[in-house]
Amino acid sequence: MIGDTALHVAAKFGKLDIIKVLTVEFGKRRHADDFVNKQLLRIKNQIGNTALHVAVITQNLNEVKYLVSIDPEVAYYLNEEKISPFYLAVETKNKEILKALLEEARDLDDVERPRPRGESPIYAIILRRNKACKNGHVDIVNELLEQQWPNPTEFLNNEGQNILHIAAKCGKYVVVRNLLRNPKLEMFVINAKDNLGNTALHLASMNLHPNVVCSLTWEDKEDKRVDLELRNNDGLTAIDVVADRGSWPPSTLREGFTFSALSSAGTKISDAGKKILQRRSTPAPKHYKDMVNLLSLVTILVATVTFAAGLTVPGGFNSTDKDTGIATLVHKGMFQIFIICDTIAMYCSIAGTFILMWAQLGDYHIAFTAFFFALLFLGAALFTTSLAFMSAIYVVVSKVTWLAIVVLITGIVFLTILSTIYIMLIFPFGYSNPVIHYICHYIILFMSPLIGGNYRVEDYLKKKKSDRLAEKDKGKQIQGSSIGLDSV
Phi then psi for residue 50, to 5 deg, are -85, 175
Give the tens place of pLDDT for each residue, 420-443: 888 877 777 777 777 878 888 888
Cα–Cα distance, 176 to 360 (Å, whole number): 47
Predicted structure pTM score: 0.65
Give the tens place of pLDDT for each residue, 367-415: 778 888 898 999 999 999 999 999 999 998 888 999 999 999 999 999 9
Q: Please answer whether residues 317 and 326 qualify as being in contact, where contact means their C-beta atoms are separated by less than 8 angstroms.
A: yes
Per-residue confidence band for 266, with pLDDT thresholds at 50, 70 and 90: confident
- For residue 165, count other CB atoms closer than 10 A to its CB: 26
CA distances from 470 to 242, 280, 465, 473, 474 (A): 21, 16, 9, 5, 6
CATH number of 121-266: 1.25.40.20
Instruction: Say if residue 116 is preceded by a cis peptide, omega within 30 of 0.
Output: no
Cα–Cα distance, 127 to 394 (Å, whole number): 54
Topology agreement, domain 1-114 and domain 121-266? yes
DSSP, res 441: H
pLDDT of residue 321: 65
pLDDT of residue 222: 57
Amino acid at 155: F
> Mind giving me the DSSP string for 200-232?
HHHHHHHTT-HHHHHHHHHTTTTT--S-TT---
pLDDT of residue 129: 36
Instruction: Look at 94 and 457; give whichever has higher pLDDT.
Output: 94
Give the tens place of pLDDT for each residue, 87-144: 788 777 777 887 788 777 655 544 444 444 444 555 555 554 333 233 446 666 666 6
Give the tens place of pLDDT for each residue, 196-227: 999 999 999 888 888 888 888 885 555 577 88
Q: Please answer whether residues 179 and 229 qualify as being in contact, where contact means their C-beta atoms are separated by less than 8 angstroms.
A: no
Fold of 1-114: 1.25.40
Domain segments of the chain as ranges: 1-114, 121-266, 285-431, 456-488
pLDDT of residue 347: 95
Query: What is the pLDDT of the chain when averaged over all its residues?
Result: 77
Q: Is the pLDDT of residue 33 over 60?
A: no
**Percentage of the chain lying above the pLDDT 70 cut:** 73
**Percentage of the chain lying above the pLDDT 90 cut:** 14
